[in-house]
Amino acid sequence: MVDNALEQMSVGVDRLEGTVETDILLTGNVNGSLCIFEVGKVGEEFDHGSKLLPDRVWPSNAGNSVGCIESPGLAWRYPGAILNMPSTISCIKMCQKLHQPVETASSSRALITTLGSEGSGGTVYILDLSEQLDLNSHSPILRRLSKITSFDYTVWTADCNFDGSRAVIGTNTGAALVNIDTGTKSWICRCKSDVFSLQLDQSGNTILCGLRNGAILSIDARQRPENFSSRLPRHQIPYHTHEASSGRAKKFHQERFELKGNMCRSDTIFMPSSISCIASLALYDQYFLASSMDGSIKLYDNRLIQRGAVQSYEGNVNSHTRIQLGVDPSESIVMSGGEDCYVRLWSIKSGEMLFRNKFMNAIPSVVCWPRTGGIHGLQNTTRGAWLGSQDGLFHIGWPV
């Protein structure tokens, strides 16, 4: 149930003693199941729903090990907390940036997209959790889920701006801006290569788009909204230089692909294969991490694109899978799963691999780091992240 999208939020839940701030996980899978799990020390007073106690999977002799990490506690799924969507859950994003107060109403809204199917395109939804959750409700998700707009195209990814007023959607034919309140959409980038990953910067004015062909583009989102892609400026972007020899003569040929949109700069990053994930750094707003499907993970400075990557992170294994990168709240560690089913962590600054282990038999495809300082009851003793795969939901933690 947790193999394609994963996000943690802090919401108000109605309890016997009143409203209690609680951590929840929103999960989505390739079969279209959208689910809410409450995590931590929860659900003691309820006798309905599914209470799931985690099993330790690594290290196997944890009871005798020094510095053993405390269990993350129960994961509780109450009745009605599962909703079957029309197609694969392609993305779940909390409508909040890291420096925004958790108590604000917009921090309890989630942007959810579906991939689409052969008969229809993807759809954009908002899940509003700004009001208290009633755990006795039979369908808490359905009543709080609103359809914003639909596309005639595959929807791969999404992101939303600081105040949650608009979203940017990545499709198989480009990127579009969507007004969350009105559902109005306008294309800001059109191309024949799928937008597999994208990120808005903190200002909401620039969008980093990672394409199937390996390109990473900076698109200006401040243009006047237009509904017709023909009005967007055209660009012929060169990539992959080939050299051919004919006797003593050498010929050079540059392939190009066409893109329509307001590019922020002429420089374009190319990674060796399709872009798997882009993750911007909030504390250093000109830096971003990017991974490609050949296993490459690199750190870039948006001001110095022509100089190439600032740092590389070696050892990851991938060939064709879209695997999400995870960055801890202090932005000192980057995490990724691999097609060899290993989880790896690197120091963002030095590039050193800090951890490498296999404790599941499926690809760790999604990762989510708590944005509020940790699970209730564990804030002062551990730090860690949630991981999702076809094997299920995992938590990885270590001493502070």
| 347 in a structural domain | no
We report the CATH number of the domain holding residue 151 as 2.130.10
Residues 296, 351: Cα–Cα separation, whole Å = 12
Host domain of residue 80: 5-321
* Cβ–Cβ < 8 Å for 298, 271: yes
pTM: 0.87
Q: Look at residue 310 and tell me if it is in a domain.
A: yes
Q: How many CA atoms lie within 13 A of 62 on its CB side?
A: 12
In this structure, is residue 357 part of a structural domain?
Answer: no
Q: Which helix (H) or strand (E) holds 200?
A: strand 195-200
Does 249 fall in a domain? yes
Is 335 a member of any domain? no
- One digit per residue, the tens of pLDDT, for the chain of length 400 reads 899 999 998 887 776 677 778 888 899 999 999 988 888 755 555 556 677 778 888 887 655 555 566 677 667 776 667 889 999 999 999 886 444 444 443 457 899 999 999 889 999 999 988 877 765 666 667 778 999 999 999 999 999 988 888 999 999 999 999 999 999 999 999 999 999 999 998 888 899 999 999 999 999 987 654 544 458 889 898 875 444 444 555 454 568 889 999 998 777 899 999 999 999 998 887 899 999 999 999 999 988 888 899 999 999 999 999 999 999 999 999 999 999 999 999 999 999 999 999 999 999 999 998 765 443 333 433 468 999 999 999 999 876 5
In this structure, which amino acid lies at residue 260? K
Residue 209 resides in a domain: yes
Residue 338 maps to a domain: no
Q: How many domains does the chain have?
A: 1
Q: Are 192 and 213 in contact (CB under 8 A)?
A: no
The reply to whether 374 falls in a domain is no
On whether the CB atoms of residues 58 and 359 are closer than 8 A, the answer is yes
